[in-house]
Amino acid sequence: MDDLPVIIVGGGPAGMVAGLLLARAGVRVTVLEKHKDFLRDFRGDTVHPSTLELFHEIGLLGELLKLPHARFDTATLDLLGGRYTIATLKHLPVAAPYIAMMPQWDLLDFIAREGRKYPTFDLRMSTEARAPTFDSAGRVDGVTLASGEVLPARLVIAADGRRSVLREAAELPLDDLGAPMDVLWFRIPMPEDAPSDVPLGTIEARGMVVAIPRSGYWQCARIIEKGGFPAIEAKGIEAFRADVVALVPGLAAGIDAIASFDDVKLLSVSLDRLTRWSRPGLLAIGDAAHAMSPVGGVGINLAVQDAVAAANILAAPLARGEDPDPLLQRVQDRRWTPTVRMQAFQRFAHLRVVEPVLRGEVNRVPLAVKLLDRLPLLRRIPGRVIGLGFGRQHVESPLAKEFQ
Q: Is 342 a residue whose pLDDT tops 90?
A: yes
For residue 42, the model assigns a pLDDT of: 52
Which whole number is the average pLDDT over 265-292? 95
CA 298 – CA 387 distance, rounded (Å): 8
Give counts: helices (H), strands (E), the chain.
Answer: 12, 21
DSSP 69: -
pLDDT digits 0-9 by tens, 165-178: 999 899 999 999 99
pLDDT band at 38 (very low <50, low <70, confident <90, very high): confident
Query: At 177, is the secondary structure helix, strand, or coil?
Result: coil
**Total Cβ atoms within 10 A of residue 171:** 9
Report the share of the chain in percent with pLDDT over 90. Answer: 71
- The residues that bridge with 156 in the sheet, in sequence order, are 7, 282
Which whole number is the average pLDDT over 34-55? 83
For residue 193, the model assigns a pLDDT of: 67
DSSP secondary structure, 49-103, as one string? HHHHHHHHHTT-HHHHTTSS-EEE-EEEEEETTEEEEEEE-TT-SSS--SEEE--
Task: Decide: residue 147, CB within 10 A, 0-12 exposed, 13-18 middle, 19+ buried.
Answer: exposed
pLDDT band at 204 (very low <50, low <70, confident <90, very high): confident
Does CATH place domain 6-48+97-177+270-353+389-395 in 2.40.128.120? Answer: no
Q: Is 1 a residue whose pLDDT tops 80?
A: no
For residue 2, the model assigns a pLDDT of: 65
pLDDT digits 0-9 by tens, 99-158: 998 888 899 999 999 999 999 999 999 999 999 999 999 999 999 999 999 999 999 999
For residue 274, the model assigns a pLDDT of: 97
Mean pLDDT check: name the lowest of 22-26, 175-179, 330-334. Answer: 175-179
Q: Select from 310, 299, 296 the least CA-distant residue to 272.
A: 299
pLDDT band at 362 (very low <50, low <70, confident <90, very high): confident
Which whole number is the average pLDDT over 45-67? 94
pLDDT band at 197 (very low <50, low <70, confident <90, very high): low
Helix (H) or strand (E) holding 342: helix 328-349
Which whole number is the average pLDDT over 171-197? 85
For residue 73, the model assigns a pLDDT of: 92
pLDDT digits 0-9 by tens, 213-251: 777 888 899 999 999 999 999 999 999 999 999 998 888
Q: What values do phi and psi take at 306, rounded to 5? A: -60, -45
For residue 43, the model assigns a pLDDT of: 63
Q: Is 352 a residue whose pLDDT tops 60?
A: yes
DSSP 281: T
Q: Is 288 a residue whose pLDDT tops 80?
A: yes
pLDDT digits 0-9 by tens, 305-319: 999 999 999 999 999
pLDDT digits 0-9 by tens, 68-89: 888 889 988 888 888 899 999 9
- The residues that bridge with 142 in the sheet, in sequence order, are 133, 152
Its pTM stands at 0.92
For residue 360, the model assigns a pLDDT of: 84
